[in-house]
């Protein structure tokens, strides 16, 4: 009898111990993380909702930073990525240098097998997928005349398989300086409403120049939704719109109002219940409301507002404004994010909000030398003086152009930690430093660094201006760019930052030898009217 009780007790205990594992077996595995695609230096890149599993989908071997100044005007390479509603295809716009013509490309979801969509004429201002599998495009056609110019904008749907078009809205603007613009944003999940942006240019008395508008595709009614906004996205249920707005640089009298603050907002599709989600200085663009409605992604230069063209990163934020997190941190900049269309996925950024412990990814490198470019070439690496290399350019495409390296991307989440941008200019020995500001009056002081003479210039008021040196046949300038006409934000650049760039100097293509001496200045034969 006692043995029977012991056996019964053993069975009960064993059963109790087994219960947790049985319950665990019934717990469903966590949902997969949603995918995000975005544009990065002319490439299409994908990441997960927490910023992990970064993959370059297109043009993986492209030169990341261009010497062509037109890169500031046009997005060369691949841009505006979007994954199709059937989850099988990736669409994007391709605009390659020397061809100067855009193509809408359709590829496999992994970026493979990209082919152009035929029959699309005019420059493409925007592109997205519609719920029915057609492409939503904005095309722009510009005609120059001796007496006046014309610009025609068309918002249309295009079947990528057949090329068949349906124009939703077409407007032609006349004038010698036409500035009115239209740009399609998105079609609502039920296919009834078209969200688009209109810029009224110099009209409308300078007030509320930018508008988000809604065109009902069934009854053709057209109404303003939000003033002062440029980009927007429908929530998954179609009840609200997330939008971004910029007011700080517009100079309008109503920029001081509470509902015109920079950042990300949401509003009902009838224009009511406007709510601020994220605010702060800098540029905000490309909002996209994710699957399930929980999170919104966007691009922003909020961590370094002074360099809004070169320091944009991808952020996510909960639709109630909580858990602002950046999903990228690096150079070149990341822009135009778009969610993949899966619904049974997680869109949260994981356990950590804010900077999420994300280390900077500095991919920018100098361009390959040309046969017609004999200058000795130096740079200071992908990261120097606490900044990431964000731009490389020159004013000439020949042997006489000075090479400019812009360290203007801050690797910190909080803008208070960011230093001001700094420019490294490299000229041939017989060419002057022309981009880095050197004061016409003031003081200079010379010292020795890495075995060469270094001269530091200050203004008449004692403010640090620039530092120069000669090494081999190269003249080096460090400081603020002549194009920095405004007082930049962030921590002031110090002489220690100038010296940090000098300590990081190395020939292009060679590793830095810390503490090594630079080559002494070499004899240069400079003749009047020539540069060698």
Write down the domain spans for the chain.
37-362, 378-507
CA dist., res. 34 & res. 290, Å (int): 9
CA dist., res. 326 & res. 415, Å (int): 13
CA dist., res. 36 & res. 55, Å (int): 11
pLDDT for 98 equals 60
pLDDT for 253 equals 44
Domain 37-362 in CATH 3.30.360.10: no
pTM (two decimals): 0.88
**Pseudo-torsion of CA 23, 28, 29, 35, nearest 10°?**
-160
Report which of 38, 131, 147 is spatially closest to residue 85, judged by C-alpha positions: 131
Residue 283 has a CB neighbour count (10 Å cut-off) of 21
> For each of the chain's 532 residues, which pLDDT tens digit applies?
444 444 444 444 444 444 445 444 566 677 899 999 999 988 999 999 999 999 999 999 877 665 444 444 556 789 999 999 999 999 999 987 665 678 999 999 999 999 999 888 888 999 999 999 999 999 998 887 767 788 899 999 999 999 999 999 999 887 655 567 899 999 999 999 999 999 876 544 445 578 999 999 999 999 999 988 889 999 999 999 999 987 644 444 455 566 678 899 999 999 999 999 999 988 999 999 999 999 999 999 999 887 766 789 999 999 999 999 999 999 999 999 999 999 999 999 988 899 999 999 999 888 776 655 556 689 999 999 999 998 887 644 444 578 889 998 999 999 889 988 999 999 888 888 988 989 988 999 999 999 999 999 999 999 999 999 999 989 999 999 887 766 566 788 999 999 999 999 999 888 999 889 999 998 877 765 444 4
Report which of 374, 505, 483, 499 is spatially closest to residue 431, judged by C-alpha positions: 374
Instruction: Summarize pLDDT for 317-344 with one digit per residue, the tens.
Output: 999 999 999 999 999 999 999 999 999 9
Q: The tokens of 105 are what?
A: 């490309």
In what side-by-side order are the strands of the sheet with 263-268?
Answer: 229-234, 240-245, 263-268, 275-279
In what side-by-side order are the strands of the sheet with 115-116?
Answer: 77-83, 89-95, 102-108, 115-116
CA dist., res. 389 & res. 477, Å (int): 16
pLDDT for 70 equals 46
- Length of the chain, in residues: 532
pLDDT for 241 equals 97
């Amino acid at each position: 009898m006692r043995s029977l009780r012991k056996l019964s007790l053993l069975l009960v205990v064993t059963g109790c111990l087994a219960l947790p594992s049985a319950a665990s077996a019934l717990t469903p595995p966590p949902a997969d993380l949603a995918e995000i695609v975005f544009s990065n230096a002319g490439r299409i890149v994908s990441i997960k909702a927490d910023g992990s599993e970064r993959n370059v989908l297109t043009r993986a071997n492209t030169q990341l930073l261009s010497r062509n100044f037109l890169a500031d005007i046009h997005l060369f390479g691949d841009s505006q990525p979007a994954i199709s509603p059937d989850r099988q295809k990736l669409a994007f716009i391709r605009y390659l240098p020397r061809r100067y013509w855009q193509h809408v490309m359709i590829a496999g979801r992994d970026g493979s097998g990209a082919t152009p969509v035929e029959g699309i004429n005019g420059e493409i201002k925007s592109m997205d997928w519609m719920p029915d599998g057609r492409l939503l495009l904005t095309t722009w056609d510009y005609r120059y005349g001796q007496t006046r110019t014309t610009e025609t904008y068309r918002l249309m749907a295009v079947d990528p398989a057949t090329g068949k078009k349906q124009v939703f809205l077409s407007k032609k603007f006349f004038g010698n300086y036409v500035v009115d613009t239209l740009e399609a944003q998105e079609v609502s999940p039920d296919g009834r409403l078209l969200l688009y942006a209109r810029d009224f240019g110099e009209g409308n008395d300078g007030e509320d120049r930018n508008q988000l508008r809604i065109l009902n595709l069934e009854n053709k009614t057209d109404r303003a939704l939000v003033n002062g906004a440029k980009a927007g996205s429908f929530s998954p249920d179609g009840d609200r719109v997330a939008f971004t707005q910029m007011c700080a640089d517009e100079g309008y009298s109503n920029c001081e109002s509470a509902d015109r603050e920079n950042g990300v907002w949401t509003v009902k599709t009838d224009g009511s219940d406007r709510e601020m989600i994220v605010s702060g200085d800098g540029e905000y663009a490309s909002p996209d409301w994710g699957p399930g409605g929980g999170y919104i992604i966007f691009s922003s230069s909020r961590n370094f507002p002074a360099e809004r063209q070169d320091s944009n990163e991808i952020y996510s934020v909960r639709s109630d404004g909580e858990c602002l997190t950046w999903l990228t941190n690096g150079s070149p900049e990341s822009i135009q994010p778009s969610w993949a269309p899966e619904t049974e996925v997680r869109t949260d950024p994981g356990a950590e909000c804010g900077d999420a412990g994300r280390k900077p990814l500095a991919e920018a490198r100098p361009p390959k030398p040309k046969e017609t470019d004999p200058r000795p070439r130096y740079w200071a690496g992908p990261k120097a003086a606490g900044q990431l290399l964000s731009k490389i350019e020159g004013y000439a495409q020949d042997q006489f152009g000075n090479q400019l390296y812009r360290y203007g991307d801050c690797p910190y989440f909080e803008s208070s930690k960011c230093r001001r941008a700094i420019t490294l200019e490299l000229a041939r020995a017989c060419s002057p430093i022309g981009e880095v500001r050197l004061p016409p009056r003031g003081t200079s002081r010379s010292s020795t660094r890495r075995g060469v003479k270094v001269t530091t210039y200050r203004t008449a008021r004692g403010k640090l201006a620039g530092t120069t040196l000669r090494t081999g046949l190269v003249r080096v300038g460090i400081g603020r760019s002549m194009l920095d006409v405004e007082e930049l934000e962030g921590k002031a650049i110090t002489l220690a930052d100038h010296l940090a760039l000098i300590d990081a100097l190395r020939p292009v293509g060679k590793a830095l030898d810390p503490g090594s001496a630079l080559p002494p200045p070499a004899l240069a034969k400079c003749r009047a009217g020539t540069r060698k």
